[in-house]
Structure 1
Amino acid sequence: MFVTTTAALTAPAHDDATAVVAELRDRTEILDALYRFGLGQDLKDKDLFASAFAEDAELDFRPAAAKWGGAPPVMAGRDTIVTTILGLFTGRVDTTHQITNPRIAIDGDTARLTALVEAQHLLTADHSTYALLKNPYDVELIRQDGGRWVIRRLTIHNTWYTGEPTAVFG
């Protein structure tokens, strides 16, 4: 579920520097997929947000929503994820996402990423109505043609929240 390896890199330091550089590049690109996810939402930038996902991606917000009694469906497909989330937020909810504590495990052209994401959601018309969420993310990624990493499956859990998530998420 979450990446709990006891070392950051798998390529030994005494190996060919090319292997170390390749792994560092992969790790940077893997993390960038999650950054595109967060910033794409915050800027309501459809292209940036969509660039984070594989065409057949799935986003599962059920574990987080269960904390306040929500029961959303799993979103399947990049277009559905982008349309649903940006449709729910654009013009109605202001968001900011802060991503910390990333842990990455790479296995060829697949990877897992664990990160802690603080997501602030404020109703645009009334910032006193908000939901501040502290969410562990469990992310499965794939390498696409050209070496770019994208999210195949994202499961969002919740450690705690404040505010009124039902007012923000429905």
Structure 2
Amino acid sequence: MYVTDAFALSAPATEPANVAAQLRDRVEIIDALYRFGLGQDLKDAALFASAFAADAELDFSPAAAKWGGKAPLMVGRDMIVSTILGLFDGRVDTTHQVTNPRVAVDGDTARLTALVEAQHLLIADRGTFALLKNPYAVDLVRDGDRWVVRRMRIDNAWHTGDPAAIFTA
């Protein structure tokens, strides 16, 4: 699941053009996950959708299983956007912080692992919240000059609060 390569870049420092290309890819790959989180936090459907390929898959079931919940496999950018934003819109405020991103690029595909801390707070009852620390495993594809998520699997390292109150409508 984790990207555990010993180096961040494979291009030697003596090849500045290759280093620059690899750095651009890494920034764009990590930015896909930033668009995912910030799109939710701002409830910005266009920004959120920009993180995904048209045929993307989002699997939240490993995280949900940690507290006895069930989550459907979401297939397709439109389903992911409507499901996630529809679940939270007018009901839940969120904040997402992305840490420890590791990237492995193979041509026009890439893998990204990261930790994401997600705070979910019910709008109607600020005493009901869930704070989640989730390891993400993300497969991405190149889409022109940017990268988009093809498959995202979200697990859960720990949580506090009441995630069932947040994720069950």
Q: TM-score range by the shorter chain?
A: over 0.9
Equivalent in the alignment of 1:155: 153
- State the shift of 1:14 in Å: 1.6
The DSSP-based 3-state class of the residue aligned with 2:127 is strand
Structure 2 residue ranges without an equivalent (≥5)? none
Which residues of 2 match residues 88-167 of structure 1 at below 5 A? 88-144=87-143, 146-167=144-165
What amino acid maps onto 1:166 in structure 2?
A
Matched, 1:37 2:36: yes
Aligned residues: 168
- State the shift of 1:147 in Å: 2.0
What amino acid maps onto 1:126 in structure 2?
D
The DSSP-based 3-state class of the residue aligned with 1:105 is strand
- State the shift of 1:115 in Å: 0.4
TM-score, normalised on structure 1? 0.97
TM-score, normalised on structure 2? 0.98
What amino acid maps onto 2:5 in structure 1?
T
The DSSP-based 3-state class of the residue aligned with 2:32 is helix
Equivalent in the alignment of 2:27: 28
Q: Equivalents in 2 of 1:124, 1:50: separation in Å?
A: 23
Equivalent in the alignment of 1:51: 50
- State the shift of 1:133 in Å: 0.2
For residues 128-156 of structure 1, the C-alpha deviation after alignment (integer angstroms, 9 at most, x for no partner) is: 10000000000000001x22100000000
What amino acid maps onto 2:145 in structure 1?
G
The DSSP-based 3-state class of the residue aligned with 2:36 is helix
- Report runs of 4+ in structure 1 exceeding 4 Å deviation: none
For residues 85-142 of structure 1, the C-alpha deviation after alignment (integer angstroms, 9 at most, x for no partner) is: 0000010000000000000000000000000000000001111100000000000000
Q: Equivalents in 1 of 2:84, 2:72: separation in Å?
A: 12
Higher mean Cα deviation, 77-86 or 67-76? 67-76
Q: Equivalents in 2 of 1:148, 1:28: separation in Å?
A: 9
Equivalent in the alignment of 1:8: 8
Q: Equivalents in 2 of 1:4, 1:90: separation in Å?
A: 37
- State the shift of 1:83 in Å: 0.2
Q: Percent identity?
A: 72
What amino acid maps onto 1:9 in structure 2?
L
Q: Equivalents in 2 of 1:148, 1:166: separation in Å?
A: 35
Q: Equivalents in 2 of 1:90, 1:118: separation in Å?
A: 20
What amino acid maps onto 1:10 in structure 2?
S
For residues 19-40 of structure 1, the C-alpha deviation after alignment (integer angstroms, 9 at most, x for no partner) is: 1100000000000000000000
